[in-house]
Amino acid sequence: MTSLSRITLWRLRDEKISAQMRFPQPVRLSAKRIAWLRSDVEEWMDKRAKDRYAAEVNLQASPVRVVRLPKRGV
């Protein structure tokens, strides 16, 4: 479902990451196996996409200030 590596998934579950960005908790299948509910992963992906879209819209709506730096050696 995602192209994220195992280590990235585990990093995204870290407590230091904001709750909004944190990857869903896995479900233990046996002593050595875990899995994620498809609905949880899809919900997480949808949330990330909506947040990214909202950030892009906010960037487009905000005024941009262009600052010109002086040329070197002048």
**What is the per-residue pLDDT for 36?**
93
Q: Please write the tens of the pLDDT for every residue from 18-49.
A: 887 889 999 999 999 999 999 999 999 999 88
Total domains, the chain: 1
Q: pLDDT at position 35, please?
A: 93
Domain with 41 in it: 6-61
Is there a domain that residue 53 lies in? Answer: yes
Look at residue 27 in the predicted model and tell me its pLDDT. Answer: 94
Count CB-CB contacts under 10 A for residue 23.
20
pLDDT (tens digit per residue) in 50-74: 888 877 766 665 566 667 777 776 5
Q: How is the chain split among helix, strand and coil, in percent rounded to 5?
A: 40, 5, 55
Q: Is residue 18 part of a domain?
A: yes
Predicted local distance difference test score (pLDDT) of residue 62: 58
